Amino acid sequence: MNNDKTLHSEINKVITLLKAKKSIIAFTGAGISTESGIPDFRGPQGVWKKYRPIELSEVLQDPESRALYWQRKIDMYPQMKNAVPNKGHLALFELYKKNFLQYVITQNIDGLHQRAGMPDDRVIELHGSNTYIACLDCRKRYEWEDILPLFEKQSTSPKCDECGGWLKPATISFGQAILEYETNEAERIASAADAIIVIGSSLQVYPAAGIPVTTKMNGGSVVIINMEPTGQDEIADCLLHGPAGDILQAIAEGVDERAILKKKREF
Ligand SMILES: [Zn+2]
């Protein structure tokens, strides 16, 4: 962790850098949501250290695995439903309102950027979302509130009323293909950005770790905010090791709203 004086001067450096940039994006990982009580699934205390992950093929083929999969999701539902955005999410929305942020690309599935105010079309969810349910075949969207009561009425997992496909929370499961549209959008946006702020990601797992590299290779600047060192610290123009919420709040307070840039629409 930086000491206070270093952190303060690094925050000022970020503010100066952002003021000189037009197309700014953020890339967020689990570290931004831990302050909202969302566990880091892959961390040392993560869910996957306690539970064996269930592969998509098991969800599709084995009724027992399917039931277990849904039971875990239902158990985690109240925590997800009640989670509220923290000052990190709110500061990013503040930057968006002040025209210092155009997009958020996220590895998180908690929907907290949108709950903080970010419009849906400004958030690219690389791993999908736990906040709604989708048909695995036709992608029709269902809401939790409509699906949960079905589990009390019937003993089997619900199916799509449109095509008969299996329903599942709209996240990427183990063994499930990446979301092509989201992945391509993230790549496009990261290439076009002239600055990326990475928050709460260890940047150790590809393809996610490649996103700031894409911005850097296209001439953009990289800001990294994380409690611990990351896999990409050496490419950072500004590196801040500390609590994401406080740091982002200080950055958002350090800039004044600016006029909407023409480029924002083209981005
Ligand atoms: Zn369907």
Digit-coded pLDDT (tens) for 108-147: 999 999 999 999 999 999 999 999 999 999 999 999 999 9
Nearest to 98 by CA among 261, 267, 265: 261
Cα 163 to middle of ligand 1, angstroms: 4
User: What distance in Å separates the CA atoms of residue 192 and residue 172, rounded to the nearest whole number?
Assistant: 26
User: What distance in Å separates the CA atoms of residue 230 and residue 227, rounded to the nearest whole number?
Assistant: 9
Cα 134 to middle of ligand 1, angstroms: 8
Segment 27-75, tens digit of pLDDT: 999 999 988 888 766 555 555 556 778 888 898 899 899 988 998 889 8
Q: Can 1-37+85-127+178-267 and 39-82+128-171 be said to share one CATH topology? A: no
Cα 138 to middle of ligand 1, angstroms: 4
Reported pTM: 0.91
Query: Which tokens hold the place of 51?
Result: 């539970």
Cα 130 to middle of ligand 1, angstroms: 18
List 8, 89, 113, 127, catalytic entry: 127
**Which residues share a beta bridge with 78?**
none
Cα 157 to middle of ligand 1, angstroms: 14
pLDDT higher than 90, residue 248: yes
How do the domains of the chain map onto residue ranges? 1-37+85-127+178-267, 39-82+128-171
Query: Which tokens hold the place of 180?
Result: 């092509």
User: What distance in Å separates the CA atoms of residue 163 and residue 17, rounded to the nearest whole number?
Assistant: 50
Which of the listed CATH numbers 3.40.50.720, 1.10.1040.10, 3.40.50.1220, 3.40.1180.10 matches domain 1-37+85-127+178-267? 3.40.50.1220
Q: Which CATH class is domain 39-82+128-171?
A: alpha beta
User: What distance in Å separates the CA atoms of residue 197 and residue 238, rounded to the nearest whole number?
Assistant: 9
User: What distance in Å separates the CA atoms of residue 211 and residue 198, rounded to the nearest whole number?
Assistant: 9
Segment 177-234, tens digit of pLDDT: 888 999 999 999 999 999 999 999 999 888 888 999 999 999 999 999 999 999 999 9
Segment 72-90, tens digit of pLDDT: 889 888 888 999 999 999 9
Nearest to 9 by CA among 245, 238, 252: 238
Please indicate whether residue 127 is annotated as part of the active site: yes
